[in-house]
């Protein structure tokens, strides 16, 4: 008999960014034989009216990137597992496999699907050349694939497709994106610093390989830090969120330590980017940002005008320093098949993007720390704006904001709801819509 679980739901009746959520009493306590009640989301989170937030996974420190299979089984990557009791060092990274066996919305069953590699990052479920399904995953310097053939929830086949030493790794932006689709591996690694000229290196570029890890080709360049790549549903378009650079106004003698001067330029520039990556295109970094904005450090570069002419502008610019990491598209087919289920995304969300913004450090006031719906125009097939669904900044005296969550990645699950991970709280949260929309 399924456990009766008390779930605390955070529902906002009014607000938008900055509204104070009401205190919601927990549901009835679980029976003595049940596991402990699911915890409530942190106080201070604000949800857009018509949406609710619950905890789907608890106690998973440093939870980062997500993947879900057609049966709703969830996979979560962690670049490093914190030391356990009596341990002095971390146990490397892992991939955790989770099931919601009783269908109550909380993933109570978990196994370690893959354990060991450090800097474990991107996840992508895709078939190999024979059609067999694998969970492909990236570390900073390798790409591997794993599967469980025995049914115990632990990978018993784990194969290096592109082994360590064949790809650049490490640096400030060590995260390696991964997409496997239509017989092709897409992968990138970002700037080793902030605005490093690495034109001649393999960094700051998307590369493609065949499924055996061979036939390497450049795909696109001028990327600072794109941590996830995905196809827009129904197309072969490759999309990603790219981080804008830091200290944009530093050469103009901004002074963050001097309140009279501050950093008004750095606080607002450059924008974060939502990009449609196309083969052979250049996306500006480190020389050009956003809508053809040159970095001051490269004003004396002899070919700056040529680079500006080649630059492909973002399909949508987002506020500076929000640090967009992961995202998911709301697949119209999933929206259709989940129609009528409690909490499923409505039909007017089909084709939109749910994007996670990890939050700023290079701003006078914190910004980002949110999950947004990026709205795609169904006629023009492009993003036209965004609305914030979950705001993770708690406002205090003087409107000083304090982060209570740091969203990382999102996936849409078969019931039509959306999950997002948070490496600050070690949880995965679920966003549902309400009948009051």
pLDDT digits (tens, 9 = 90+) for 232-261: 999 999 999 999 999 999 888 888 788 788
Quote the pLDDT of residue 91.
75
Quote the pLDDT of residue 436.
45
Quote the pLDDT of residue 36.
52
**Residue 228 β-bridge partners:** none
Return the structure tokens found at 285: 């970094």
**Contact indicator for 430, 418 with CB cutoff of 8 Å:** yes
Quote the pLDDT of residue 435.
65
Please give the Cα distance from 272 to 290 (Å, whole number): 8
Residue 1 CB burial class (10 angstroms; 0-12, 13-18, ≥19) = exposed
Quote the pLDDT of residue 386.
98
Please give the Cα distance from 49 to 375 (Å, whole number): 17
Quote the pLDDT of residue 19.
34
Quote the pLDDT of residue 29.
29
**Contact indicator for 350, 329 with CB cutoff of 8 Å:** no
**119 φ, ψ (degrees, to nearest 5):** 50, 40
Q: Of 187, 305, 195, 178, whose CA–CA distance to 243 is shortest?
A: 195
Quote the pLDDT of residue 317.
98
**319 φ, ψ (degrees, to nearest 5):** -60, 145
Please give the Cα distance from 11 to 21 (Å, whole number): 8
Neighbours of 138 (CB within 10 A): 29
**pTM score of the predicted model:** 0.89
**420 φ, ψ (degrees, to nearest 5):** -140, 145
In the chain, which residues have pLDDT < 70? 1-37, 435-437
């Amino acid at each position: 008999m399924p456990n009766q679980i008390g779930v605390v739901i955070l529902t906002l009746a009014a607000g938008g960014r900055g509204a104070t959520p009401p205190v919601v009493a927990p549901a009835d306590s679980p029976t003595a034989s049940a596991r402990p009640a699911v915890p409530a989301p942190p106080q201070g989170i604000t949800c857009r009216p018509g949406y609710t937030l619950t905890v789907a996974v608890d106690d998973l420190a440093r939870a980062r990137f997500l993947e879900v299979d057609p049966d709703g089984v969830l996979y979560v990557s962690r670049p490093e597992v914190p030391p356990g009791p009596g341990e002095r060092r971390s146990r490397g990274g892992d991939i955790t496999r989770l099931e919601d066996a009783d269908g109550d919305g909380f993933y109570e069953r978990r196994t370690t699907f893959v354990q060991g590699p450090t800097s474990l990052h991107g996840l992508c479920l895709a078939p190999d050349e024979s059609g067999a399904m694998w969970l492909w995953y990236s570390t900073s310097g390798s790409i591997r694939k794993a599967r469980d053939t025995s049914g115990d929830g632990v990978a018993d086949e784990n194969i290096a497709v592109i082994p360590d030493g064949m790809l650049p790794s490490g640096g400030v932006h060590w995260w390696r994106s991964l997409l496997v689709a239509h017989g092709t591996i897409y992968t990138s690694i970002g700037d080793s610093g902030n605005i490093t000229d690495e034109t001649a290196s393999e960094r700051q570029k998307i590369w493609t390989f065949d499924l055996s890890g061979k036939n390497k080709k450049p795909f696109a360049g001028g990327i600072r830090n794109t941590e996830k790549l995905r196809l827009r549903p129904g197309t072969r378009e490759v999309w990603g969120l790219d981080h804008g650079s830091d200290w944009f106004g530093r050469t103009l003698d901004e002074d963050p330590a001097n309140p009279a001067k501050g950093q008004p330029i750095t606080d607002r520039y450059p924008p974060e980017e939502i990009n449609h990556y196309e083969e052979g295109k250049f996306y500006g970094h480190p020389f050009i940002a956003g809508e053809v904005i040159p970095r001051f450090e490269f004003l004396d570069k002899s070919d700056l005008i040529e680079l500006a002419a080649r630059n492909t502008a973002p399909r949508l610019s987002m506020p500076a320093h929000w640090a967009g990491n992961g995202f998911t598209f709301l697949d119209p087919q999933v929206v259709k098949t989940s129609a009528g289920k409690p909490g499923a995304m409505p039909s007017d969300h089909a084709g939109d993007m749910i994007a996670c913004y990890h939050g700023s450090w290079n701003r006078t006031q914190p910004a980002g720390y949110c999950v947004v719906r990026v709205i795609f125009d169904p006629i023009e097939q492009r993003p036209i704006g965004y609305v914030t669904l979950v705001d993770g900044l708690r406002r205090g005296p003087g409107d000083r904001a304090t982060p209570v969550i740091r969203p990382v990645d999102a996936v849409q699950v078969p019931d039509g709801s959306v999950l997002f991970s948070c490496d600050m709280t070690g949880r995965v949260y679920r966003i549902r819509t309400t009948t009051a929309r």
